[in-house]
């Protein structure tokens, strides 16, 4: 059983009120495995038929046609299947598929994935772009480049180049992108159900420190975004300091405009506009919070912003 810190319990009771007990139950309960079919390696219906012929019991993710989750316990490890090794499927948590789906990159566009490893969202965007246009997949940690490159190769991605630098320094690059995905490094409090140690390492101070780094990454993202371009900011954290506080910053300090997000058939909640004596811009409510108890997924935060 998880040993929740008193400060954690207190803040989530503030966030969720009477739902705290439901939330607490959800974050200690394993959720269904999910994956994407990779249309760079075959047609959707052909890959689906292959999986169904093998007896996979799956259902489609409501908001993304290539996303699926298992409807019953399986007797195999998905990462050990031939389909995985061939790159026909990519293991990815359902909520993790949201940011690329919201960014909606199109063939021919130039896209930046500012913090890319291990490549879940990069490979998803490459498939959405049909390997056309270009993606710059940047990663700060040299030790994480191997997994990024391996996943790009396994999935047949051809339109992506990999760079290795601190995303905060990316603003000096003389390039302008149509779209930027900033799936920011975070404290990961939305992933407690699969990473129980997160609850031990998390603290309010850690969220505040991370928030400062995230704001610098937002600066970089905005600096290389074309006028009229779209930035999707996301975290797998549910901490307001890492989420709405940074959206407030992007609106007030960086001049970005919010766009509303709608995911058909998937429950989301509006971003909050105040937290612990801080008032956020009312437009922050157009961002979305994904709570584990709502869809049996990880917790996630996603915001869609446009540079004027």
Identify the CA nearest to 152 among candidates 184, 127, 181, 132: 127
Cα 206-307-257 angle, rounded to 5 deg: 70
Query: What phi, psi does 269 have (nearest 5°)?
Result: -120, 150
Let me know: does 232 contact 248? Beta carbons within 8 Å.
no
Is there a catalytic annotation at residue 186? no
CA torsion angle 188 192 194 196 (round to 10): 110
How far apart CA 246 and CA 256 sit, in angstroms, is 12
Identify the CA nearest to 100 among candidates 181, 188, 191: 181
Let me know: does 96 contact 300? Beta carbons within 8 Å.
yes
Catalytic residue, from 69, 155, 186, 236: name it: 236
Query: What are the beta bridge partners of residue 301?
Result: 235, 289
Helix (H) or strand (E) holding 16: helix 6-16
Query: What are the beta bridge partners of residue 138?
Result: 163
Let me know: does 68 contact 37? Beta carbons within 8 Å.
yes
Query: What are the beta bridge partners of residue 274?
Result: 279
Q: Catalytic residues, which ones?
A: 236
């Amino acid at each position: 059983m998880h040993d929740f810190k008193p400060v954690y319990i207190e803040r989530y009771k503030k966030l969720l009120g009477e739902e705290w007990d439901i939330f607490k139950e959800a974050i200690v309960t394993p959720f269904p495995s999910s994956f994407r079919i990779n249309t760079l390696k075959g047609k959707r219906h052909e890959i689906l038929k292959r999986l169904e012929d093998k007896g996979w019991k799956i259902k489609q993710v409501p908001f993304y046609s290539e996303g699926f989750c298992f409807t019953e316990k399986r007797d195999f490890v998905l990462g050990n299947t031939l389909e995985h090794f061939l790159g026909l499927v990519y293991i990815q948590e359902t909520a993790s598929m949201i940011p690329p789906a919201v960014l909606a990159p199109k063939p021919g566009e130039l896209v930046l994935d500012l913090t890319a490893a291990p490549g879940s969202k990069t490979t998803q965007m490459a498939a959405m772009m049909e390997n056309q246009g270009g993606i710059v997949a940047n990663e700060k940690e040299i030790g994480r480049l191997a997994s990024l490159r391996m996943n790009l190769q396994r999935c047949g991605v051809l339109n992506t180049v990999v760079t290795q630098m601190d995303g905060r320094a990316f603003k000096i690059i003389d390039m302008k992108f149509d779209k930027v995905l900033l799936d920011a490094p975070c404290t990961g409090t939305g992933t407690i159900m699969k990473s129980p140690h997160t609850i031990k390492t998390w603290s309010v101070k850690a969220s505040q420190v991370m928030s400062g780094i995230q704001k610098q990454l937002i600066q970089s993202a905005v600096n290389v975004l074309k006028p009229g371009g779209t930035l999707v900011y996301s975290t797998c954290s549910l901490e307001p300091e890492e989420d709405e506080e940074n959206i407030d910053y992007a609106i007030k300090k960086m001049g970005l405009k919010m766009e509303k997000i709608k995911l058909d058939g998937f429950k989301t909640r509006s971003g909050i506009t105040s937290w612990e004596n801080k008032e956020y811009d009312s437009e922050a409510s157009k961002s979305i919070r994904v709570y584990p108890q709502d869809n049996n997924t990880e917790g996630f935060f996603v915001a869609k912003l446009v540079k004027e």
